[in-house]
């Protein structure tokens, strides 16, 4: 039965992947310009570029005034926001806007709203910053990637939304994650497609390399490998909350207990003190 369904939906899934990749929207001019200035460490001109895009500016102000950012008073001045955040966290917030640009109009595979999704994104950012602070890491490539990772959930939604019933039947038969189903059907992993999305957005090579560590769960002695374990655990920590279990997001990717074992105690200490 598995292979009958696989053969039935394989052409549709491959076509969906190709169309999805082809139709990823380009970044708006001023948003891209803002990101380039941040790569150069130029907060002043980054803020000026952001101001030239009203939708982008509104998003930045709305996001950073959420309670998790800890500002006592509302801050509306973009230059002040960038100055307080610094280059690394400003880049993280800008990347969060990239993801907003590809949010679906409505969710079909996962039972969530865009508001739920953005709450997940901000929670990941909050805890990730605590982890990096604990580990004394502040490189842009490490700080900024976390706000992009939830885009892989959107990729999953967009690819499977037209074949929901067949995909759910496959899940029931084999008890597979959506990521495993996609790989068995098409040879793609969700993070493979996510990396292509990031390349189209011209993310830096070091950030792409870090995402590959997360995707492939590479085990070595590098900082990338250590932090990839944290991110893997953080994703499942957040997705295990009742709202996301009910939405079906706990079946998004497979949890690898052995991969995260070395950081588990430190992780729980960090999130418990957050």
Please write the tens of the pLDDT for every residue from 151-177. Answer: 999 998 988 888 877 777 777 777 788
Mean pLDDT, rounded, for 229-234: 96
Task: Supply the pTM of this predicted model.
Answer: 0.90
Please write the tens of the pLDDT for every residue from 22-37. Answer: 888 889 999 999 999 9
Please write the tens of the pLDDT for every residue from 256-269. Answer: 999 999 999 999 99
Cβ-defined contacts of 251-258 (< 8 Å, 24+): 251/171, 251/177, 251/178, 252/152, 252/153, 252/156, 252/177, 252/178, 252/179, 252/190, 253/177, 253/178, 253/179, 253/190, 254/177, 254/179, 254/180, 256/217, 256/232
């Amino acid at each position: 039965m598995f292979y009958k369904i696989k053969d039935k939906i394989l052409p549709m899934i491959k076509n969906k992947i190709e169309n999805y990749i082809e139709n990823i929207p380009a970044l708006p001019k001023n948003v891209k310009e803002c990101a380039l200035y941040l790569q150069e460490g130029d907060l002043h001109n980054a803020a000026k570029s952001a101001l030239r895009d009203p939708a982008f500016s509104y998003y930045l102000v709305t996001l950073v005034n959420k309670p998790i950012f800890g500002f006592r008073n509302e801050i509306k001045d973009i230059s002040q926001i960038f100055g307080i955040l610094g280059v690394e966290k400003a880049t993280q917030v800008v990347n969060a806007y990239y993801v907003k640009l590809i949010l679906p109009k409505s969710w079909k595979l996962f039972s969530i709203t865009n508001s739920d999704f953005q709450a997940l994104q901000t929670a990941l950012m909050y805890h990730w910053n605590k982890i990096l602070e604990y580990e004394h890491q502040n490189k842009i490539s490490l700080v900024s990637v976390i706000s992009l990772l939830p885009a892989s959930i959107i990729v999953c939604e967009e690819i499977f939304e037209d074949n929901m019933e067949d995909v759910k039947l496959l899940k029931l038969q084999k008890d597979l994650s959506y990521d495993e189903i996609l790989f068995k059907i098409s040879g793609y992993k969700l993070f493979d497609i996510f990396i292509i999305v990031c390349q189209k957005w011209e993310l830096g090579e070091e950030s792409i390399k870090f995402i590959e560590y997360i995707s492939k769960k590479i085990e070595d002695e590098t900082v990338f490998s250590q932090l990839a374990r944290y991110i893997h655990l953080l994703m499942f920590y957040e997705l295990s909350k009742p709202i996301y279990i009910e939405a079906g997001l706990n079946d998004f990717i497979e949890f690898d207990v052995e991969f995260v074992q070395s950081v588990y105690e430190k992780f729980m200490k960090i999130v418990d003190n957050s």
